[in-house]
Chains A and B, each alone.
Chain A
Amino acid sequence: MVFSSLIFLFVFLPLAILLYYISPKVLRNFVLFVVSLIFYAWGEPVYIVIMIFSTLFDYMNGVLIDKYRSHKGITKAIFINSIITNLVIIGFFKYYGFVVDNINTLFNLNIHVETLPLPIGISFYTFQTMSYVIDVYLGKVSAQRNIIAFGTYVTMFPQLVAGPIVKYSEIDKQLQDRKVTLDRFGEGMELFIRGLALKVLLANNIGLLWTSVKTTSISELTILTAWLGIIAFAFQIYFDFRGYSAMAQGLGKMFGFDFPENFNYPYISKSVTEFWRRWHISLGSWFREYVYIPLGGNRAGLLKQLRNLFIVWFLTGLWHGASWNFVVWGLYFGLFVTLEKLFLLKWLKNRMRIIAHMYTLIIVLIGWVFFEFDNLSVAIRYIGTMFGFNQTAFLDNNTLYYLTTHFTLFCILAICSTPFPKKALVYIREQLKLPGAICMPIFYVILVVLSTAYLVNDTYNPFLYFRF
């Protein structure tokens, strides 16, 4: 089940909220846990056992580590066993086919493999359970003895499927004790609706432009069309992911949880380093805390730091997908982050903000090309077209058609990529007392109504009888 669907919005969510709030406080974790299992089973009726196994397994590991805390050898063994098992689970389901393909290419073999479908959310929940075991092992938190509370942490439907990746330490206290006021509930709902609107009204729409450009043969793309296409994708993936994260945060709030912010207006960044502090924050934070810093970070000399950066960016890329273009994408950013650390940031600081901004956007846009095309040579050709290397015109009728039919949408997207709309909302709410109090609900109702219209339309499926 996805958040941006009629069944979630108008069936599952109202029932879930109703059930949660008519239950006494002691039962609420349990209700949330059960409801989340239903949510997950709805999409993965069979693979839910993997998630349940993962939950039970790491619950046991946490309790055992706490119990044998005085025996360093035993806890270490439990810890290593847990990490390896988790990595094997995610490795098997996500990377098995990829590994076999590479072995085939390297050794000229032809091992045939049936790739398994990827269980929903496996990249998110295994990272969460791993973070729990690591935190317990390092003594940062004590083990969660209540299996229901722990199960709730792992399977909570707001962040189960698409993040943000919530570290156990961030949520430990909230599992035991959380308060929801009507205000907070309302805030959560508003956040949820903003996220829904971003995904359904903005991301899905501009995505159509990218689909159209992506399926055109590259030799027919003009320079400007290639740029329009990748800009469309940049907006699509941002609003899609940001929208979903906002929905997750909003839902969390409605149940009394405070999830960390996952996006902070990444497209206003003035350096690639800054971009990665504003984009998919929970993932960057996870890799920094559990890979980069344990490896020594920047404290063990330049050579070691370069090695650490390489590993982190390699893994960041690989996390996004079992394909080399994602690794290239990760390392590409790793390269720029490194260059910036070495000297580029200083250089940028002395330039006009607009130059730093343009530089960042261009690097990010080129990065998206690697992200979207599995085939590296196709990606390179596309980039070549963007910079005029493939002898295509600057624009043609098609370009003008895309530009004129998407102009308004692009303007809206650009504005929504900045903090301006948020500031406007805050201003209206806080400064314009009475008119503000009337406008706000109306604004949100409009967003929900529009989102509903677009969601219904997604299922519009006319039977084209004239084909038969």
Chain B
Amino acid sequence: MACLLTLFIGGMFTINLLTPNKSFSDSENRNLEQLPAFSIQNLFDKKFTPKFEKYISDQFAFREFWISMKSDIDRTIGKKENNGVYIGKNGFLFQKFTKPEDQDVKNKIEAINNFHLENPNVQKHVMLVPTAISILENKLPNYVSRVDEDTYIDKVKKSLDNEINFIDVYPILSSKKNEYIFYKTDHHWTTKGAYYAYLELSKNMKFTPIQKESFNIKKITNSFYGSLYSKAGFRHIDSDSIELYEPKESIQYKVEYVDEAKTSQSLYEMKNIKKKDKYTVFFNGNHPFVKITTENTNGKKILVVKDSYANALLPFLLSHFSEIHIIDLRYYTDNLNMFIQKNKIDEMLLLYNANTFFEDSSITDLNDKEN
């Protein structure tokens, strides 16, 4: 009997010795620890031993197999969450909503309202998108409350200045909750979900939206395992597919990644289909400032201050504007007021998903006085 165990432990020991080191983990999206350099100083600083332990763990043979075994056992005994992510019905993953501090929420609302006072001639729209946890209530694990996110979005809606137009996408998304509007394994909405929000947006911005029939809907991948899949560690769940909505009447445009001095003829970075984070097909991820110029002659300009949710919705705006300026406050460091004046912006959309809005503090940079 001791033999069997000795065999197992001895076996793992030898296998670990013999298998080559891996450098990157796809599922964890990070570099794996390599053999650390030894020095007496490192040892005394307590740096060497933790690194060595990390090295042993990171390079442990069959790591993926062990992780999936653990997650399967967890699910068998009834566990419904791991690492801040719920697993609901049909393998649907939901990011937990963390209640923000009331003072933080106040600060953010104030930042937006102050920004409005400083730029009174810009028509402002705010879209705070509820995430899957609020919309897909029928897929949540039992007894998980979805009310929190709603309450906070409502707080923002009620406290914004009257002249700011709050676009409430909850009704339309909720009415489509049985459709594939959120990814199962990622925290973003699907292109379809973004499309429905686009319909709501068009009502508010008073243009005629392009109907679904006028799009070629292309499925570009079936094997998207998104951010929540990595975060939660649950395995043996279905992957997602990503669709692109290409208007049948195509429109020419130019995309400038201003800070990187690059231009492109396409909003999509198709190479990223081969990467792990396939959502970056849209705009190749997040940038401080992107400018899109279209062949549209209506002269309408819009500034979009956003997080990554907007990436799936922006393609729909091409047909309606001549210039689309896209700014991500997490990376953009210049003064927005000056930007608006210089570019003569008269319409603006603030587009965030509720989670990022309440967790990320960059929205307060709207009031950044530095140049």
Evaluate contact between B28 and A461: CB separation under 8 angstroms: yes
Tell me the A10-42 residues at the B interface (CB within 8 Å): 10-11, 13-14, 42
Evaluate contact between A46 and B13: CB separation under 8 angstroms: no
User: Does B223 interact with chain A (Cβ within 8 Å)?
Assistant: no
**Distance between Cα atoms of A181 and B142 in the complex (Å):** 53
Q: What is the interface size of chain A, counting residues whose CB is below 8 A from a CB of the partner?
A: 55
User: Does B117 interact with chain A (Cβ within 8 Å)?
Assistant: no
Chain A, Cβ-Cβ closest to B230: A462
Evaluate contact between B231 and A462: CB separation under 8 angstroms: yes
**Distance between Cα atoms of A406 and B144 in the complex (Å):** 14
Evaluate contact between B67 and A460: CB separation under 8 angstroms: yes
**Distance between Cα atoms of A440 and B4 in the complex (Å):** 11
Cβ–Cβ < 8 Å partners of A186 in chain B: 1-2
**Distance between Cα atoms of A5 and B56 in the complex (Å):** 10
One of A11, A45, A190, A437 near B56 (C-beta < 8 A): A11
Evaluate contact between A456 and B57: CB separation under 8 angstroms: yes
Evaluate contact between A409 and B66: CB separation under 8 angstroms: no
A63 to chain B minimum Cβ distance, whole angstroms, is 32
Evaluate contact between B227 and A466: CB separation under 8 angstroms: yes
Cβ–Cβ < 8 Å partners of A440 in chain B: 1
Identify the stretch in A165-173, A289-297, A361-369, A393-401 within 8 Å (CB) of chain B at 4 or more residues: A393-401
Evaluate contact between A462 and B27: CB separation under 8 angstroms: yes
Evaluate contact between B53 and A5: CB separation under 8 angstroms: yes
Evaluate contact between A7 and B143: CB separation under 8 angstroms: no
Evaluate contact between B145 and A193: CB separation under 8 angstroms: no
Tell me the A176-193 residues at the B interface (CB within 8 Å): 182, 185-186, 189-190, 193
Tell me the B73-111 residues at the A interface (CB within 8 Å): 73, 77-81, 83
User: Does B8 interact with chain A (Cβ within 8 Å)?
Assistant: yes
Evaluate contact between A405 and B49: CB separation under 8 angstroms: no
Evaluate contact between B44 and A45: CB separation under 8 angstroms: yes
Cβ–Cβ < 8 Å partners of A454 in chain B: 70
Given the contacts A189-B2, A462-B28, A468-B330, A456 and B70 also touching, CB distance less than 8 Å: yes
Cβ–Cβ < 8 Å partners of A463 in chain B: 28-30, 230
One of A182, A397, A467 near B2 (C-beta < 8 A): A182
Given the contacts A186-B2, A401-B142, A457-B233, A408 and B77 also touching, CB distance less than 8 Å: yes
Given the contacts A405-B78, A452-B12, A456-B70, A464 and B1 also touching, CB distance less than 8 Å: no
User: Does A60 interact with chain B (Cβ within 8 Å)?
Assistant: no
User: Does A105 interact with chain B (Cβ within 8 Å)?
Assistant: no
Cβ–Cβ < 8 Å partners of A89 in chain B: none
User: Does B54 interact with chain A (Cβ within 8 Å)?
Assistant: yes
A81 to chain B minimum Cβ distance, whole angstroms, is 31
User: Does A389 interact with chain B (Cβ within 8 Å)?
Assistant: no
User: Does A465 interact with chain B (Cβ within 8 Å)?
Assistant: yes
User: Does B43 interact with chain A (Cβ within 8 Å)?
Assistant: yes
Cβ–Cβ < 8 Å partners of B27 in chain A: 462
**Distance between Cα atoms of A397 and B230 in the complex (Å):** 28
Evaluate contact between B233 and A460: CB separation under 8 angstroms: yes
Tell me the A370-409 residues at the B interface (CB within 8 Å): 397-398, 400-401, 404-409
**Distance between Cα atoms of A449 and B13 in the complex (Å):** 14
Evaluate contact between A7 and B52: CB separation under 8 angstroms: yes
Cβ–Cβ < 8 Å partners of A450 in chain B: 69, 73
Evaluate contact between A7 and B56: CB separation under 8 angstroms: yes
Given the contacts A14-B10, A45-B43, A405-B79, A6 and B60 also touching, CB distance less than 8 Å: yes
Given the contacts A400-B142, A459-B57, A468-B330, A405 and B5 also touching, CB distance less than 8 Å: no
User: Does A421 interact with chain B (Cβ within 8 Å)?
Assistant: no
One of A10, A398, A453 near B9 (C-beta < 8 A): A10
One of A400, A406, A444 near B5 (C-beta < 8 A): A444
Chain A, Cβ-Cβ closest to B53: A7
Cβ–Cβ < 8 Å partners of B46 in chain A: 45
Residue of A6, A185, A455, A457 with most partner-chain B CB within 10 A: A457
Cβ–Cβ < 8 Å partners of B308 in chain A: 466
**Distance between Cα atoms of A437 and B2 in the complex (Å):** 12
Evaluate contact between A452 and B66: CB separation under 8 angstroms: yes
B93 to chain A minimum Cβ distance, whole angstroms, is 13
A48 to chain B minimum Cβ distance, whole angstroms, is 11
Chain B, Cβ-Cβ closest to A42: B49
Give B contacts to A, CB under 8 Å.
Answer: 1-2, 4-5, 8-10, 12-13, 16, 27-30, 43-44, 46, 49, 52-54, 56-58, 60, 63, 66-67, 69-71, 73, 77-81, 83, 141-145, 187, 227, 230-231, 233, 277, 308, 330, 360
Q: What are 14 residue pairs bridging A and B, where the CB atoms are less than 8 Å apart in the complex?
A: A10-B13, A45-B44, A46-B44, A401-B142, A404-B143, A405-B79, A408-B77, A448-B5, A453-B69, A456-B57, A460-B67, A461-B30, A462-B28, A462-B231
Give A contacts to B, CB under 8 Å.
Answer: 1, 5-7, 9-11, 13-14, 42-43, 45-46, 182, 185-186, 189-190, 193, 397-398, 400-401, 404-409, 412, 437, 440-441, 444-445, 448-450, 452-468
A409-B78, A460-B28, A463-B30 given. 17 additional CB < 8 A pairs? A10-B60, A13-B9, A397-B143, A397-B144, A401-B80, A401-B141, A401-B144, A441-B5, A444-B4, A445-B5, A448-B9, A453-B69, A456-B57, A462-B27, A463-B29, A464-B231, A468-B330
